[in-house]
Amino acid sequence: MSEEVIPVVSMRGIEKRFPGVLANDRVDFEVRPGEIHALLGENGAGKTTLMNILYGIYQPDGGEILIRGESVVIHSPREAIELGIGMVHQHFRLVTSHSVAENIVLGLPGNLFFPEQAAREKIEEFSDRYNLTVDPEARIWQLSAGEQQRVEIIKALYRGAEILIMDEPTSMLTPGEVEDLFTVLRRMANEGNTIIFISHKLDEVMAVSDRVTVLRQGRVEATLETAQTEKRELARLMVGREVLFRIEKNEIKLGEEVLRIEGLHALNDKGLPAISGVSLRIARGEILGIAGVAGNGQRELVETIAGLRPATGGHIFVSGHEITSRSPREIIEKDVCFVPGERLTALVPEMSVTENLILKTYRDQRFIRGLFFNTREINSHADDLIERYAVTTPTRDTPLKLLSGGNIQRVMLARETSGKPALLIAAHPTSGLDVGAIEYIWQLLLKERERGTAVLLVSEDLEEALTLSDRIAVIFEGELMGIVPSVDTDLEEIGLMMAGAHRLPVPEAGE
């Protein structure tokens, strides 16, 4: 193009400082009208901070913002909306008991009465124009995550958004819903809207964006035309070094059965059925991945195995011993290790790295001398694990909460895998971590597999589940929709199973 296009958004030299962190360091970020611009970076790279500044949630400590060429100061989201900026947050902000139409007009000024007719007309207009199909009368709680996201997008459009910020929009969606979302985004861009797409997933960035800006440690690494780059380059920019994508997975002869679950039932925290008749088996040296959209019983399943939630029916055996509804301590003593998805339920952030490393093993005779702890032995155990698992911490006595997310997860994995478990339950082991940490944890899980551990891996990230697992069990509304081998799988089939639309006969059920 010869003539200079005026960028619709131009952020120049943006700086934002939080206590102890420079979240944005002189960031220059430009978005052209009508493009889908991906903002790529690891967790903590400063993507969301930058967008929160654009949306008026944070005030920058330095730099300036130009919208359509005019310098502006955005004090609040309200002012951002007036400038035609909308934001769809990662976690939706909808009133679940209200209808779609009510949610869309909620909080708009000027109306004493509910502008029902106007709302419906607008919703229908957006539905047609962008393929944003949603029933205005439906209640939010009746909708899937993908549909709720459409409501959020319509909400932003209704407020006149022409620049739409999407924060990690695919994290809650099934593969099919992701495709639908991309279609919507492309249509919106064709109609002249501008989309800023925050992500740390390279495949998505490659698939949907026109240009991409890579952030690393608060700085802009590069802004590139997506068509003129490739995954490997983006990964290198994002992490700051070469990243392995090929995971070496050796062929392993399966050993004897370690975990056997027969017709398991359990309730969720509200007392409603969360797990209904789940049956599966895992052998030594096998990784079984549980794939599914968040909230389909994954958490309840792993908690029931770990003894943190009573089973209301069925049986669980580990190495031939029944452990159904036994106490967590008895299950720990059967060499079952558990990395829960909510990390803070298994760590004590206020306590030191050392004290967190002995949380499961503090009763061991080697750590006790007479009435007291054998401090020397405990410290050398901690030093050993810190070294072996390359935990970056100032000292072993540093409170755990001061470590980075990746290092906190290393502490957890060091504790859970160093004791040579028979069964390792790993729920979302890499969620919220950056590419470097993810790579390390993948290698660690594969090492466990080679050592002969049976691994139950729960992941919302289908790519992760496929990369690591030998077999994939798809869970939907507490039931297993089928178990498939992870090689030569049909992604579409898994997607349908995740959405509950397809079911395979489970050979292991009933026995």
Candidate list 362, 384, 397, 501; residue touching another protein; CB under 8 A: 362
- Residue 128 DSSP SS3: helix
44-83 binders of another protein (CB under 8 A)? 59, 73, 75-76, 79
Binding status of residue 399 toward another protein by CB under 8 A: yes
What is the distance between the alpha carbons of residues 16 and 145, in angstroms, rounded to a whole number?
32
Q: What angle do CA 43, 45, 48 make, to 5 degrees?
A: 80
For another protein, which is the closer residue by CB, 340 or 421?
340
Segment contacting another protein by CB under 8 A, of 101-109, 134-142, 361-369, 452-460: 361-369
What is the distance between the alpha carbons of residues 187 and 192, in angstroms, rounded to a whole number?
9
The minimum distance between CB 348 and another protein, in angstroms, equals 5
Binding status of residue 310 toward another protein by CB under 8 A: no
Binding status of residue 366 toward another protein by CB under 8 A: no
- Cα–Cα distances (Å) from 170 to 55, 204, 402, 445, in that order, read 20, 9, 30, 25
The minimum distance between CB 370 and another protein, in angstroms, equals 10
For another protein, which is the closer residue by CB, 212 or 425?
425
Contact 35, 47 (CB under 8 A): no
Phi and psi angles of residue 253, each rounded to the nearest 5 degrees, phi first? -80, 130
What is the distance between the alpha carbons of residues 15 and 24, in angstroms, rounded to a whole number?
5
Candidate list 373, 405, 418, 506; residue touching another protein; CB under 8 A: 373
Two tokens at 346?
A: 């298994």
Segment contacting another protein by CB under 8 A, of 2-10, 155-163, 345-353, 503-511: 345-353
The minimum distance between CB 328 and another protein, in angstroms, equals 4
The minimum distance between CB 330 and another protein, in angstroms, equals 8
Tell me how far apart the terminal alpha carbons of the chain are, to the nearest angstrom: 68
Candidate list 230, 350, 450, 463; residue touching another protein; CB under 8 A: 350
For another protein, which is the closer residue by CB, 239 or 331?
331
Binding status of residue 344 toward another protein by CB under 8 A: yes
The minimum distance between CB 13 and another protein, in angstroms, equals 18
Tell me the three-class secondary structure of 317-385, residue by residue: EECCEECCCCCHHHHHCCCEEEECCCHHHCCCCCCEHHHHHCCCCCCCHHHEECCEECHHHHHHHHHHH
Candidate list 2, 3, 4, 20; residue touching another protein; CB under 8 A: 20
Give how many residues touch another protein by CB under 8 A: 40
Of 107, 105, 157, the C-alpha closest to 131 is 157
Candidate list 295, 328, 405, 432; residue touching another protein; CB under 8 A: 328
Which helix (H) or strand (E) segment holds residue 258: the answer is strand 257-267
Strand blocks (E) in 51-193:
62-67, 70-72, 85-88, 163-167
Binding status of residue 401 toward another protein by CB under 8 A: yes
For another protein, which is the closer residue by CB, 79 or 477?
79
Residues that bind another protein (CB under 8 A): 19-20, 59, 73, 75-76, 79, 306, 308, 327-332, 338, 340, 344-351, 355, 358-360, 362-363, 367-368, 371-373, 375, 399, 401-402
